[in-house]
Amino acid sequence: MSTKVAIQGVKGSFHEEAAYKYFGEAIETVECESFKKTCELLKQGKVDYVVMAIENSIAGSLIPNYALLRDYRFPIVGEVYLHIKLHLMALPGVSLQDIKFIQSHPIALQQCNDYLEENPQFKVTEAEDTAASAQRVSELQLKDTAAIAPQLAAKLYGLEILERRIETNKKNYTRFLILTDKPEEKVKAKVNKASISFQTGNGVGSLSTVLRCFAEQNINLSKIQSMPVLGKRNEYDFYVDVEWKDQADYDAAIRQVLKHTNNFNIMGEYVKNEKV
């Protein structure tokens, strides 16, 4: 029985590409129209894992997804970085001169802004997903429309790439988290990254005291994100990602941090994934 992985968007999307990169292609991806739906399927036991985008090197953090992490409290068991490469694709036999319309997800369109400004002859329309725009061109046989989507979508929906790598920034990465509701065996010798959440007091220097605990134990703080605590004025949840080389240093840092925080939660300990 194959592993079922919930993805936001349709097949051929960056989420499916990230799922294949992490798990290999011997999996079954389950399409979901929203990130909340992916979490619901995991909660109901209909999938084994969720692949969830959490930050982009250009657009920044996906704040609504931090809210889902808070609400569902699924363990984070891994991460994967995906190099975002966007291509212009159309039906086989269609040339660039035939194209009148271009469609894609709003963020993808924004990331291709330079190309679109250089080609004002195209009328741009927004779609709910990059891969869904490719799927629409294919299913409706739109000979005057091109989609901006990943290469995987072109392959899946039988489209030809007219222009490659039209994204403005060629060093664009998205980080995805791997979530599950099933306990996994951890090889402590390999685990070297953790995602943690906590609250601090409102006193002067309360957050810096916590961060100093990590620094004093040689723990690298690779990400920090704050979100307001629901219904409480001037109170925040802090989400941090930390990395370490020596497990003992990490364990010592956690013991110190516990003394200075409230509602402390280790959201997941896993193996750091490099940008490749």
Sequence letter at residue 173:
Y
Sequence letter at residue 98:
D
Active site residues: 174, 176
pLDDT at 185: 66
Backbone angles phi, psi at 22, to 5 degrees: -80, -45
pLDDT at 157: 98
What whole-number distance in Å separates Cα of residue 74 and Cα of residue 206?
28
Reading phi first (left if > 0) and then psi (alpha if -120 to 50, else beta), residue 139 is in alpha
pTM score of the predicted model: 0.92
Query: According to CATH, what is the number of the domain 193-270?
Result: 3.30.70.260
What whole-number distance in Å separates Cα of residue 74 and Cα of residue 181?
6
Q: Which CATH number fits domain 3-84+172-179: 3.40.190.10, 3.30.2420.10, 3.40.109.10, 3.40.50.300?
A: 3.40.190.10
| Residue at token pair 């723990």 | 219
pLDDT at 189: 62
What whole-number distance in Å separates Cα of residue 264 and Cα of residue 268?
12
Radius of gyration of the chain (CA): 21
Q: What is the residue extent of each domain of the chain?
A: 3-84+172-179, 87-163, 193-270
- The whole-number mean pLDDT for each consecutive block of 10 residues of the chain, a chain of 276 residues, reads 93 97 96 97 97 92 94 96 97 97 94 96 95 97 98 97 96 95 71 96 88 96 92 88 96 97 95 79
pLDDT at 221: 96
What whole-number distance in Å separates Cα of residue 92 and Cα of residue 7?
28
Assess whether the region 3-84+172-179 and the region 87-163 belong to the same CATH fold.
yes
Pairing between strand 123-126 and 101-104? Answer: parallel
Superfamily of domain 87-163: Periplasmic binding protein-like II (3.40.190.10)
pLDDT at 203: 78
**What is the widest separation between alpha-carbon atoms in the chain?**
66
User: How many CB atoms lie under 10 A from the CB of residue 88?
Assistant: 25
What whole-number distance in Å separates Cα of residue 222 and Cα of residue 194?
10
pLDDT at 276: 58
